Amino acid sequence: MDSDDEFMTDVSSREEDFLDTQDSEDESLGEDFGDDFDAGFSYDKDLVQKTKKPYEVDFKVLSPGDIDREQNSQIAEVSSILGLPPESAGILLRFARWNREKLIESYMDRSEEILEEAGLGHSFEANPRTEVVPGFMCSICCEDGDDLETYAMRCGHRFCVDCFRHYLSQKIKEEGEAARIQCPQDNCHRIVDSKSLNLLVTDELKDRYKTLLTRTYVDDKDNLKWCPAPNCEFAVECGVKARDLNKIVPTVHCACKHSFCFGCGLNDHQPPPCSLVKMWLKKCEDDSETANWISANTKECPKCLSTIEKNGGCNHMTCRKCKHEFCWMCMGLWSEHGTSWYNCNRYTEKSGSDARDAQARSRASLERYLHYYNRYANHEQSAKLDKDLYLKTEKKMTSLQSQSGMSWIEVQFLDTASQALQQCRQTLKWTYAFAYYLARNNLTEIFEDNQKDLEMAVESLSEMFEKPIAELAELKVDILDKTAYCNKRRVILLSDTAENLKQNEWKFNVEL
């Protein structure tokens, strides 16, 4: 068991969660109160002023309301600078993919061209309205009744309201289009603005239109991404650029509790960078299913290295690809076998030993891959089993409460331990993918030591966690202690890896 001191100096994950929600004003309280603020209680100061760990990145979670507000404030700003109606400013911003500075600069230089390219044109009528035009025939449906309600956008192309409505409905509902809906006239690229749309469509369609516009806002901005968790409607803002993804793993945490990589959108995969993760997943997809079988049942042709399965009892093999003849037992040339064809006990000929060396190298490479893959897969499997761990934990907590007379607050240590286990397993899983691509050096040794420490701590905590409910009350301090230790080992491993990644210290056996 670890010492009490060690437990006390570590901020538990609960406290970390709490700190993550603090605003930047709170984080700078220390400076506001001067140097005397801590009055010797450094632990308290740590709670108030949380320092960012090397593997953490700055990010901000945005709700649909936040996204709307952000959009509207940018539209209002551009609208006032350029002196355009808000709906036109919105079209321009979407055309410029929300790059305000670039848009304003381009607009000042060549306003007419920009308006044309964005599908706006020059006339800006204040209030769109429908009207009945005597003798008008709609070129879409060919109706020409005297009381036919019609609508024309600023481009002047007039259609009956029913056709216009049907067209907009199809674009929004079926095609999921919002930001670039053009005038229904052939060869007219004028964009339908929000005022026209609001005049013509139902409330249900207006909502859908608004949702789609919000979606394009997030999709168009490089520093915004939707949380990939099912049914989550939050977006995350993060300033990490694509070019930095080999130096940092930008893990972000959504308000829905889902953690994912801002770079590639996959679940949190620290410590390996996105490019390694992509390589590893592809390799696993291609290799792992068959690797074990290949290892056990096949050999490579000594000449062309094609993988060969022995399909008969005879040791005289002829490679189908290059027609090379060799002995299955010693891998030597068949022509060197003289008369001892079916009973090979030779080991010395050069051709055989060379072939066996190549074979050994190939097998060693496969063995190495399987070593890392099996450990990766083991943690992945454990993580899958951990998915229903929370429900089990809740049951355990309820049972423990009733059996030991502890309060609900007092049994929370099990929930904390459960979360730590899941988080550490996730990290461990990816450390094996990372280690597979590491070239051997001193740093690798340190990394593997950290990995081993975390592995042992996790197994130890897992063992305690599985104990019968009757024993859990007595193990509370041990479990708390081990939970804190696991969290600490994880932080150490990730911090060390992230530092070295930032400083380009890691040497990989592949090109990133």
Partner 1 sequence: MGSIKRISKELAELIETPPTGISVQLVDESDVYKWKVTMKGPEDTPYEGGTFIVNLTLPNEYPFKPPTVSFATKIYHPNVSNDDKGSMCLGMLKSDEWKPSSRIAAVLEFARQLLVEPMPDDAVEGRIAEQYQNDRKRFEEVARDWTRRYAREAN
Binding site for partner 1 (CB under 8 A): 139-143, 157, 159, 162-163, 166-167, 170, 175, 177, 182, 184-188
**Shortest Å distance, C-beta 185 to partner 1:** 5
How far apart (Å, rounded) are the C-alpha atoms in residues 192 and 207?
Answer: 16
Find, among 352, 305, 329, the residue nearest to 317 by Cα: 329
| Residue-by-residue DSSP string for 429-477 | HHHHHHHHTBPPSHHHHHHHHHHHHHHHHHHHHHHHHTS-HHHHTTTHH
**Shortest Å distance, C-beta 88 to partner 1:** 22
How far apart (Å, rounded) are the C-alpha atoms in residues 209 and 346?
Answer: 78
Catalytic residue among 261, 314, 344, 424: 314
Helix then strand count (H, E) for the chain reads: 19, 12
Assigned token pair, 30: 């220390």
**Shortest Å distance, C-beta 125 to partner 1:** 21
**Contact indicator for 33, 202 with CB cutoff of 8 Å:** no
**Shortest Å distance, C-beta 168 to partner 1:** 10
For partner 1, the closer CB: 163 or 317 = 163
- The amino acid that residue 222 corresponds to is D
Assigned token pair, 280: 């590893």
For partner 1, the closer CB: 21 or 187 = 187
How far apart (Å, rounded) are the C-alpha atoms in residues 429 and 379?
Answer: 5
For partner 1, the closer CB: 168 or 236 = 168
How far apart (Å, rounded) are the C-alpha atoms in residues 249 and 255?
Answer: 19
How far apart (Å, rounded) are the C-alpha atoms in residues 170 and 336?
Answer: 77
For partner 1, the closer CB: 162 or 233 = 162
**Contact indicator for 458, 426 with CB cutoff of 8 Å:** no
How far apart (Å, rounded) are the C-alpha atoms in residues 330 and 317?
Answer: 11
- The amino acid that residue 153 corresponds to is M
For partner 1, the closer CB: 163 or 261 = 163
Kindly give the interhelix angle for 86-95 and 100-109, rounded to the nearest 10 degrees: 100
Residue 314 annotated to the active site: yes
**Shortest Å distance, C-beta 174 to partner 1:** 9
**Shortest Å distance, C-beta 154 to partner 1:** 17
For partner 1, the closer CB: 169 or 401 = 169
Active-site amino acid positions:
314
